Homo-oligomer: A and B are copies of this chain.
Amino acid sequence: MPGETERPSNTNDKLWSGGDALNKEVELFTAGDDYLTDGYLIEYDCIASIAHAKMLAHTGVLTKQECKRLVDELQTIRKRAAKGTFTITPEQEDGHTAIEQHLTRTLGDLGKKIHTGRSRNDQVLTALRLYYKTQLHRIESHIEELINSIRQFKKKFGGITFPGYTHTRKAMPSSFRIWAGMYMDALSDNKQLLKSVRRIIDQSPLGTGAGYGVPLNIDRSYSAKMLGFSKVQKNPMYAQHSRGKFESMLLHLLSQVMYDLNRCAADIIFFSLPELGYLELSAKITTGSSIMPHKKNPDVLELVRAKYHTVAALELQVRNTTANLISGYHRDIQETKGPVLKCFTITGASLKIMKPVFENLTVLPDACSAAMTDELFAVEEVYSLVARGVPFREAYRRVAQKYNK
């Protein structure tokens, strides 16, 4: 029972194959590389399976003793996964299968019983959703820590004025207080969005089966509560439909974060241009060149800038993959698992790396003050002429003439 669907292909397990040997090439093609990425999900699958086992005991499908043995074994897997000693083989295709095979090997038929009242579909949905919730907390912390780093930067350098640009041209006086504050505010708004997205996805899909419910008396509230979900996602077809939809919300959130980092990186690269010299990046976070001994390149910021586009593209992929399709599970959805995990990893790493960037970022006050040339004050000049009674048009004309000869 590999992959992420109803379907079997494990050649060791001829039960599901209905007689015909699945074409070997087809088997390889459909396997994907979940076996590589699913390491992240083992823990969440164990947590979900434990809650499911307890629910089955609660409703009398499992005895207390059976439940205990399943839970103990799942805890063992979870610990081994945390230590990195629980491996998924390519033949197992994904972590869910690896867990199943482990349970069957160690517990015999009892190992199979964990699947009563559950399908592969809601099992995967639940593990992913628990993973998402944990990841959102991690991203939230990273956002907060980065805001703190920017705040430190603002404390040290906020008082220094430097030219504000429009159209990539000097425009009016600005300061590093305003500049740093901009990104703090943007990140705070992202936190608001994060909370909203979390509130929306915080629904338990466990018990929705393959999208049409389970012909068995189960207690969905019981397992939902145990897993910390704030509500049950009642409609089983919506549970399926929300795969892709919720992922799109999550990736949109992540790409909002990455968008802000992209713009921030662009700013630092530009303002630390030696010809301007308002900012300086310490050598600790720049990289040299194998051919040009004088170079100090902002590679780290260029990669942060680039990774926005990766997340934005994967966001698009995730949603478009299922557009135009009818309701119900389609195997197409397998293609979206990797991108979602990847975007969480990228965004977390990018938020984290911006901390040492801000800690190693210095404002050079002399260059800033030298750059505060007269034309930046043209607007103020016009207004001060106006204040002295000169009509606006005349004031503008006078100041314009001064700068455009």
Tell me if A241 and B404 are in contact (CB < 8 A).
Answer: no
- Which residue of the partner chain, among B164, B215, B270, B323, contacts A262 with CB atoms under 8 Å? B323
Establish whether residues A171 and B331, one from each chain, have CB atoms under 8 Å apart when the complex forms: no
Residues of B within 8 A of A312 (CB): 316-317, 319-320, 323
Asked if residues B289 and A324 are in contact (CB atoms below 8 Å), the reply is: no
This chain: copies in complex: 4
Q: How far is the CA of A317 from the CA of B312 in the complex (A)?
A: 8
B186-A303 in contact (CB<8A)? no
- The residues in A between 6 and 55 inclusive whose CB is less than 8 angstroms from any CB of B are 6-9, 15-23, 25-26, 29-30, 32
Q: Is the interface of A mostly helix, strand, loop or mixed?
A: helix
- A108 CB, nearest partner CB in chain B, Å: 11
Contacts of A26 in B (CB 8 A): 284-285, 287, 300, 353, 356
Q: In the complex the two chains form, is A323's CB within 8 Å of B320's CB?
A: yes
Contacts of A172 in B (CB 8 A): 209-213, 292
CB distance from A147 to the nearest CB of B (A): 13
Within 8 Å of chain B (Cβ to Cβ): is A238? Answer: yes
Interface residue? A78 (CB, 8 A)? no
Q: Which of A174, A192, A307, A333 has the most CB of B within 10 A?
A: A174
Q: Are B169 and A296 in contact (CB under 8 A)?
A: yes
CA distance A317 to B328 in the complex (A): 25
Which residues 340-369 in A have Cβ within 8 Å of B in the complex?
Answer: 349, 352-353, 356, 360
From B174, B196, B238, B283, A192 is in contact (CB under 8 Å) with B196
A299-B3, A383-B215 known; A165 vs B18 contact (CB < 8 Å): no
A282, CB-defined interface residue at 8 Å: yes
Pairwise interchain contact A310-B299, C-beta atoms closer than 8 A: no
Is A382 a contact partner of B293 (Cβ separation < 8 A)? yes
The interface bits of chain A over 163-189 (1 if a CB of B lies within 8 angstroms of the residue's CB, else 0) are 011111111111000110110011001
Chain B residue contacts of A29, Cβ below 8 A: 300, 303, 349, 353
Known: A294-B404, A331-B299. A25 touches B356 (CB 8 A): yes
Binds B, one of A125-133, A136-144, A252-260: A252-260
Cα distance A238–B183 in the bound complex, in angstroms: 7
Q: A178-B237, A245-B186 are in contact. Are A167 and B331 (CB under 8 A)?
A: yes
Distance of A370 Cα from B242 Cα, bound (Å): 30
The distance from the CB of A343 to the nearest CB of chain B, in whole angstroms, is 12
How far, in whole Å, are A122 and B26 apart by their CA atoms in the complex?
38
The reply to whether A287 and B256 contact each other, CB–CB distance below 8 Å, is no
Set of chain B residues within 8 Å of A164, measured between Cβ atoms: 211-212, 237, 328
**Cβ contacts under 8 Å, A209 to chain B:** 172, 291
Residues from 297 to 328 in A contacting B, C-beta threshold 8 Å: 297-300, 302-303, 305-310, 312-314, 316-317, 319-328
Q: Tell me, in angstroms, the Cα distance from A292 to B404 when the chains sit together.
A: 12
Which of A68-76, A82-90, A272-280 sits within the interface?
Answer: A272-280
- B-contact bits for A237-271, CB 8 A (1 contact / 0 none): 11001100100110010011001101100110111
Check: A378 CB closer than 8 A to any chain B CB.
Answer: yes
Check A290 for interface membership: any CB of B closer than 8 A.
yes
**Residue numbers in B under 8 Å from A288 (CB-CB):** 6-8, 16-18, 400
Give the 6 A-B residue pairs with the shortest CB-CB distance, closest first: A196-B196, A313-B317, A293-B400, A6-B289, A20-B283, A294-B403
